[in-house]
Amino acid sequence: MATLNFNWKKLIPYAVILMLCIVVAIIYNRQQNFKDKFESEEKLKIALLDTITTYKNDRNELVTTKLTLQANIKDLKNMNGYLTDSQKELTNRIREVEKSNKIIAAALIQTNVKIDSLRNGKVTVDTTEGRINISDSLPEIQYSFDIFKVKPKFPNQNPVFKINYLFLPNKQFVEFHWKNDRKEGYPIAFSISNSNKYFKTANIDSYIIPEIQKDKIKPNFWQKTWKGIKTTSPYIIGGVIGAGTVFLLMR
């Protein structure tokens, strides 16, 4: 019977290459973890100091946007002294909801309605009753006002102003999206658009779980490679990277 001789020395170069790949992957992972931690801290600092910006979109709607807070609620609680009143309220409300349910994303929006330069619409004068009616129906506002006793029958009677109805239809679209800023690690921003020009967004503060990151949802080549190695070799390197999910809040 022939003896099968196998030269194990031939496998040494392949074993060395495999070990080098593993070492490089581990080093890259540690560097990436350090980079992620640093970028998360920087994104949080920038988001805490960010202010709202406003512009018009293709629908001619007024859009207001502001960076989103990405941190654990516990970390935000420890930074309570650095938060604005609105950010504190947002954090407190998230903590209240999280007692019964897990928060993925949340936003606290302050909206004001300001009506200026509104000219009279249709005017109807009733001389018998001493009443004037002013009404109009526009895409942004519909209203009907009555003014009574314009010509008082008695000297001690003052004119009466009555609002029959005042209706301001408005559609709001809100979204979380990545700000296209590679240097800052693609921070998440929150935007809200109002279809009615009379609605003004005065302030926004939003929160999203830190697990939702661009490198997990839309990784580059090296991030995909590292994820594949970890998934196929859990006993060599350990763990499996989980992917987050983006949620849009509709109102």
Residue 204 inside a domain? The answer is: yes
Look at residue 228 and tell me whether its pLDDT is greater than 60. Answer: no
Please give the angle made by the CA atoms of 96, 50 and 60, to the nearest 5 degrees.
95
Give φ, ψ of 80 to 5 degrees.
-55, -35
Look at residue 37 and tell me whether its pLDDT is greater than 50. Answer: yes
For 98-108, the pLDDT digits (tens) are: 888 888 899 99
Window from 82-86, 120-124, 228-232 with minimum mean pLDDT: 228-232
Distances (CA, A) of 95 to 91, 115, 175, 206: 6, 36, 22, 14
**58: how many CB neighbours lie within 10 A of its CB?**
5
Amino acid identity, residue 124?
T
- The SS3 call for residue 91 is helix
The domain total for the chain is: 1
Q: List the domain range (segments joined by +) for residue 219.
A: 12-115+188-232
- What Rg value do the Cα atoms of the chain yield, rounded? 31
Q: Please compute the mean of the pLDDT values over residues 236-250 and round it to a whole number.
A: 28
Residue 180 inside a domain? The answer is: no
For 170-218, the pLDDT digits (tens) are: 999 999 988 876 666 778 899 999 999 899 999 999 999 887 776 665 6
Question: Does the model's pTM come out above 0.85?
Answer: no
Residue 29 inside a domain? The answer is: yes
Residue 49 inside a domain? The answer is: yes
